[in-house]
Amino acid sequence: MPTAEEAPARLAQIPSLTLSVRVPLARCTRFSIVGAADLYGETGSQDAFVAALTAARELSIAVAVIGDGTNLVVSDAGFRGLALRYRAAGIAEAGDLVSVDAGASLAELVDFSVERGLAGLETLAGIPGSVGGAVYGNAGAYGHSISERISAVRFFDGSRVRSLTGQECRFQYRESAFKSHKEWAILAAELRLEVADSDALRSAATGILEVRNRKFPATLQCAGSIFKNLLLADLPADAAAQVPEAVVRDGKVPAAWFLEQVGAKGASRGGIRVADYHANLIYNAGGGTAAGLYGLISELKARVRERFGFDLEEEVQYVGRFV
């Protein structure tokens, strides 16, 4: 095993990698919880990013690849390893094909496509986070997901850089092959869009952004929705029978509906609260801790399990130890 001195020294030798020690990750997440990483590295170079991942594996250092930290919950005790951020953010077009680096923000990608009259991403307007994170979690809204437009994803599999087609990424609702392979790190994606009127796309994106900003204000320390919505067909029969028909959209039932039935709105633990107006929105009202957030999430899952007989599944990802 490497000593505490060997790991930083080895990583510091990688050109184009900026490395820091004991960095609070509050600045890297939407919840602004104070857990720190033993090591924090960032780079816009693919070669440096791959070299850092390779070195960490050889040194037996745990790695958490992070983007904009939208869906990350960092333990109060921090992360005993390397938090590594890929900042390459290039976006380019060739006809209706758009290539984008994983470090670009999803908002920048949506704006890029809308301004050029390329349709297919406008319903994602206002979703925070990086493109890499969006691909990893198959981000989406209003009945559409980014996977519908992905033709290929380039990634590092721990040994080499390779690509998968969109079909090979095994996308499902808020799922992808990358969630099943934590050792894979997304580098870039190609998306096939459709030529359309830029003004019409901008109007649609602006309307969606206004709605999202009312629901999830930019100043709110939250990850958006905490739990995944449910596919009606996958619910236990008893639970599905209780869902009003008017609640179901595109075969999905909002997790918020189940949470409302168990009194989630306004629930709190310390500085962590569930919004009074949205049962699937948990935020840090000030001074909240990761333990409080994890505890409240666990409590809400237990309430739904007891009432409806199934487990809600988080959209957020945990970094560090929570049990």
Residue 250 buriedness (CB in 10 A; 0-12 / 13-18 / 19+): exposed
The domain 91-200 is classified under which CATH number: 3.40.50.10140, 3.30.70.3040, 3.40.50.720, 3.30.465.10?
Answer: 3.30.465.10
Q: Are 315 and 226 in contact (CB under 8 A)?
A: yes
* Overall fold of domain 217-308: 3.90.78
Position 83, amino acid: A
8-state DSSP, 303: H
Residue among 23, 16, 22, 28 at smallest CA distance from 221: 28
Q: Are domains 10-86 and 217-308 of this chain identical in fold? A: no
8-state DSSP, 136: H
Q: Please, which residues have CB within 8 angstroms of residue 252's CB and are 6 or more apart in sequence?
A: 173, 229, 230, 231, 232
Tell me yes or no: is domain 10-86 CATH 1.10.1040.10.
no
pLDDT score of 1: 47
Q: Which residues of the chain are under the pLDDT cut of 50?
A: 1
Take residue 49 and report the two structure tokens written for it.
Answer: 């990013």
Query: What's the rounded Cα separation, in Å, for the pair 230 and 256?
Result: 10
> Which are the catalytic amino acids?
174, 225, 315
pLDDT score of 186: 98
pLDDT score of 218: 80
Take residue 268 and report the two structure tokens written for it.
Answer: 């709190």
Kindly list the domain boundaries of the chain, sorted by start residue.
Answer: 10-86, 91-200, 217-308
Q: Give start and end residues of each alpha helix (H) in 75-197.
A: 106-115, 131-136, 177-180
Take residue 98 and report the two structure tokens written for it.
Answer: 């758009």
Residue among 164, 185, 181 at smallest CA distance from 67: 185
pLDDT score of 89: 98
